[in-house]
Amino acid sequence: MTYDFAVVGAGVFGSWCAHFLRQTGARVLLAEQYAPGHSRSSSGGESRIIRMGYGTDEIYTRMSLRSLDLWRRLFARAGEDLFVPTGVLWLARSGDGYAARTEETLRRVGVAIEHLEPVELRTRYPQINFDGIDWALWEPGSGVLLARRAVAAAVKQCVTAGVEFRTLEIAPFGGAGKFRGGLRTAAGEKISAGAFVFCCGPWLPELFPELLAERMFITRQEVFFFGTPAGNSGYQPQGFPTWLEMSAGMYGMPDIEGRGAKVALDLHGAPFDPDTGERTPSPQAYSAARNYLARRFPQLGDAPLVEARVCQYENTSNGDFLIDRHPDYNVWLVGGGSGHGFKHGPAVGEYVADLLHGHRAPEPRFSLASKASRQSRAVY
């Protein structure tokens, strides 16, 4: 069968691209080598933050607002609410330019926020030790997406709408599957389509080594869940926020679905292979999370580790997404979520469908040409 569009990769970007490409009645294939939201994919964690704050990068603020609306509509249709309204608390120091610029942008765009001083913070959150924190920015409307399940819901909506979902491994673009108006699977089957959309997250550099091996940086990232005290609801979403302390390179969230309080390191780890990388947490990352926990949340100082995950970021040089056409073929590259992409899945899917239908001009920040071979992170 020949498709109008073949989308490769059923993570958050691929599932939403397939959804929007199907809206016009096009024949769409969604091909995934494992299962949607599987444990090796970047979308495969339990939970991902959705926040509106992005410094001066209003483009991402607006995408996030649009995405939250689209996520909620999906969850309403699916009959399962996978958004947890925890709010998001940015812990800031005086002179923290990123938080101050975030506040300015969110006020201008009309996002509901509060600027909180330490006295107010201590009253609201006695569980948190605010030493070294001079103020905080509160986004009451933001929260957490139950990521793995949200991807499964997005794929289900594709299938219901008529997208063909198949478990297939597409062969590397420049290797056995050399492009001749079609692709090959690793098993040798030919896939023909008008356009191919590669939403392969951390696999993109190995699929397109000549274009992306030097322009994407796949890094090991570690996430820890600590058990909260028995008989104490103070760490559950209704009384404890999702929080970010950018100057410490840490973020976390409440005890959602009883998994424990999450503490994660946002600083980039070592290079990582998404297929073969061993996912045992490192002692260094564990100590960093444990020390931070004891300092910022003293009551959890001795809390047991109840779960941990090793995942990977698929970074571009500065953190801007990569959404562009291959220079030679009708093949589109969609990725570079760079540790902040999950929330934007719906807006990315909508953008890609508009772009492929010729309904909008490409955003220069997403171009391949703008992706450098040296990392200098600017978007968080």
Ligand X SMILES: Cc1cc2nc3c(=O)[nH]c(=O)nc-3n(C[C@H](O)[C@H](O)[C@H](O)COP(=O)(O)OP(=O)(O)OC[C@H]3O[C@@H](n4cnc5c(N)ncnc54)[C@H](O)[C@@H]3O)c2cc1C
Look at the block and give the residue holding tokens 């909008």: 360
Tell which residue, 98, 93, 106, 143, has the closest CA to residue 254.
143
Count the residues of the shown chain that bind ligand X, applying the rule CB under 6 A.
38
C-alpha distances in angstroms, 59 versus 146, 313, 320?
Answer: 24, 21, 10
CA distance 277 to 40: 9
41-80 footprint of ligand X as x/- string (CB under 6 A): xxx-x--xx-------------------------------
Residue type, 165: F
Region near ligand X per CB under 6 A, out of 28-36, 101-109, 209-217, 284-292: 28-36
Tell which residue, 177, 169, 188, 161, has the closest CA to residue 28.
161
| Contact with ligand X (CB under 6 A) among 6, 14, 113, 292 | 14
Q: Least Å distance between CB 325 and ligand X? A: 17
**Residue 331, SS3 per DSSP:** strand
Cα 372 to chain centroid distance, Å, stands at: 21
141-180 footprint of ligand X as x/- string (CB under 6 A): ----------------------------xx----------
- Residue 202 as a binder of ligand X (CB under 6 A): the answer is yes
The two counts, helices (H) then strands (E), for the chain are: 9, 18
CA distance 162 to 71: 20
Report the residue number, 92 or 352, with the smaller CB distance to ligand X: 352
Q: Is residue 38 a contact partner of residue 142, using CB atoms and an 8 Å limit?
A: no
Q: Least Å distance between CB 379 and ligand X? A: 12
Q: Least Å distance between CB 94 and ligand X? A: 26
| Contact with ligand X (CB under 6 A) among 30, 32, 102, 125 | 32
Q: Least Å distance between CB 121 and ligand X? A: 22
For residue 152, give both structure tokens.
């499964």
Q: Least Å distance between CB 103 and ligand X? A: 20
Binding interface with ligand X (CB under 6 A) = 8-14, 31-34, 38, 41-43, 45, 48-49, 169-170, 199-203, 207, 221, 223, 311-313, 335, 337, 339-343
